[in-house]
Amino acid sequence: MWDKVKLTRPSFRDLLWLFGQVLRASPFIAAVWITLVLINAGAAAAHLLVLRETVNTLVDADLLSSAVPWLTALCLLFLIEQTILTLLPLLREQLRIKAGFALQRAALQKTGKLPLEAFDDEESHDLINRVVTGGDSNIVQLMQNGLSLIEYTPILFVSAVVLGLISIWIPLIIIGGAILLRVFEIRMGTRVRHFEVENTRNKRLADYYVQLLTERRSGAEIRLWSIGETLLQRWRTILAQYLQERLHIDFRNASQGIFQVFIFVAIIAGALLVTSLSQGRVEAGLAALVLEALRNITAGMNSMQYFVIGFVQHAGYGEDLRRLLEKKEEEAAPETQTPSPHPMREGIRLHSVAYRYPGADTDALSDINIHIRPGEILAIVGENGAGKTTLAHILAGLRSPTAGHVTIDGINTATLSSEDRRRACTVVFQQPARYPTTLHENLILGSVDASDAHAEAVLTRVGLPAERFPLSSLLGPEFGGVDFSGGEWQRVAIARSLIKETGEFVIFDEPTAALDPLAELEIFQQFVELVEGKTALLIAHRLGPTRLVDRVVVLDGGRIVEIGNPTELLQRNGKYAEMFAAQSEWYQ
């Protein structure tokens, strides 16, 4: 299977880039580690040479005392080597932790700045998954293999040079054989890397099944429909297939590796034998040196095989991380940006706006022309898939039109920074996020400066009085907090949108979807008061509350089919009247 696939080797540029990131993360520790690696290589060379003289002295000397200096030097070198070997793992771990943390932080910061379009296609999800969710293990393995590979290389080189004391051909054979083995090992590691990339989706799917089986939100439905075993079986099937294919690759790599090392050692042993026979008697010290160097080389080659395969496999993390960090962020305002108008005087206009999702064949929105006046309450209605939420995302600056443009007081929003736009806008989503922190922090989210008195007043307005819902309440039973109902979480989201005093444009995307009818009626009776002084956009499936708004925009298939006052639209007997009448039948 793999012979038919073009395998991509790790880019030397990506590895250099990643190495630079590691050095910047902890330059002092990196410098100490590199220094000890070089000292260790020099100690290994000195060890071989001192070993030679020690053995010669022990064999030829009449008195044991003549070998004492060499034995002392040998012990000192042994002490140095063992001390360095003890320190290197500690430094390697420190370097790995600091670099890993820095790289993970960079990846998470970048992910938080990506536009919503980055989460609309499978390839982006796969890339983000490999970098973020697998970052810890990949960084650990990459650093472990890469640093160990660097530590072994000088020792192997020194051992090969020392063997040149017998014959110049031996180091040439060793270096040539090592290069050849590394080529095969790079191909082995590339197989594993290619397999991991191709199976990212399956791993994500298996993780998703685990999430469904273990999280609180899906627990009730899974038990109600008794689908726990079904999900478990799907998880087991995906994982079993993944592990079987991975074990097959590992077995193939291991078999080839053993054969390659065996051939390599046989070639070196043959070369040593032929050289020894041709040179006749070899001094004892040189024989000991050769045997020790040969032992270093064979042991090192065996270890380096593992390091190289693992290094190449995980070196793809550098490519993935670089690709993620180079992804286009949300549109930033140009250097000569226009200040965002505050307060609005002319309102918001959409000029022939269209939007198409990545990979889609048709537009989700087409030829949208709307003027939202300051202080106006506008409702957007339509069937599922009509483009209501997409339009809300564009107005909130979360998505950029693929055609047309949006202006605020005549200023093209493309000249405004995303941060500036969002400071003046707030959104209540149909399924708001639930943060496992205090009620107060759920309201301000670290970006709004609101006093406790103001926060309590807003909560009271949405039906969460401070007597029953203290600001210090920790939310989320999964992390030791109190449990809120879906409707109470929805009220928290509404309060969050109202506490932001700079938010003069409020978007309610089905804000009462989780509320019971009486609570919904109560919220909408206060709706006009809650958004007083603000420009509001209401997205609704239930059309009763739209009677309170100034105008209604009716979307159908991504296009505006009607727009006007709700009373006028009912009199026209168009799409809005048809939808209103269909819903009214349930209450007659």
Place of tokens 């791993």: 203
Count of domains forming the chain: 2
Q: Does residue 6 belong to any structural domain of this protein?
A: no
pLDDT tens-place string over residues 15-41: 677 777 777 878 888 888 878 877 887
In angstroms, the CA 563 to CA 542 distance is 17
What is the rounded CA–CA span in Å between residue 579 and residue 575?
6
What domain range includes position 160?
11-325
Contact 297, 159 (CB under 8 A): yes
Residues 396 and 250 in one domain: no
Cβ neighbours around 92 below 10 Å, total: 20
- 548 close to 579: Cβ distance less than 8 angstroms: no
Query: Model confidence over 289-339: pLDDT tens digits?
Result: 777 777 777 676 666 666 676 677 666 777 788 888 887 776 554 555 666
Are residues 362 and 234 part of one domain?
A: no
Could you tell me if residue 340 is inside a domain? no
The domain that holds 428 is classified in CATH as: 3.40.50.300
Residue 555 sits in the same domain as residue 443:
yes
Q: Average per-residue pLDDT in the chain?
A: 77
∠133-135-140 over CA atoms, to 5°?
140
Report for 105-109, 139-143, 300-304: range of highest mean pLDDT:
105-109
Is 261 in the same domain as 367?
no
Give the C-alpha distances (Å, rounded to integers) separating 211 from 158, 204, 218, 223, 234: 52, 10, 9, 15, 13
At residue 420, what is the residue type? D
- Which residue, 325, 358, 388, sits at the end of a domain? 325
Per the document, the length of the chain is 588
User: Within a domain: residue 2?
Assistant: no
In a domain, 330, yes or no: no
- In order, the DSSP letters of 337-349 are PPPPPSS-SS-EE
- Neighbour tally for 297: CB within 10 Å: 25
Note the pTM of the prediction, 2 decimals. Answer: 0.66
Domain identity same for 293 and 361: no
> Distance (Å, rounded) from C-alpha 46 to C-alpha 514?
76
One domain, residues 468 and 581: yes
Confirm whether 336 is domain-assigned. Answer: no
CA gap 77, 97 in Å, rounded:
30
CB 418 within 8 A of CB 397: yes
Shared-domain flag, residues 261 and 410: no
Q: What is the dihedral of CA 103, 107, 108, 113, to 10 degrees?
A: 140
Asked whether residue 279 is domain-assigned, the answer is yes
| 287 and 372 assigned to the same domain | no
Same domain, 315 and 353: no
| 276 and 387 in a common domain | no
Looking at the structure, do residues 316 and 352 belong to the same domain, yes or no? no
Question: Residue 508's pLDDT is what?
Answer: 85
Beta-carbon-side half-sphere exposure of residue 325 (alpha carbons within 13 Å): 16
Identify whether 341 is part of a domain.
no
Q: For residues 457 and 585, which has the higher predicted lDDT (pLDDT)?
A: 457
**One domain, residues 265 and 366:** no
117 assigned to some structural domain: yes
Model confidence at 444, in pLDDT bands (50, 70, 90)?
Answer: confident
Q: What is the dihedral of CA 293, 295, 298, 301, to 10 degrees?
A: -70
Task: Classify residue 546 by its DSSP letter.
Answer: G
CATH for 270: 1.20.1560.10
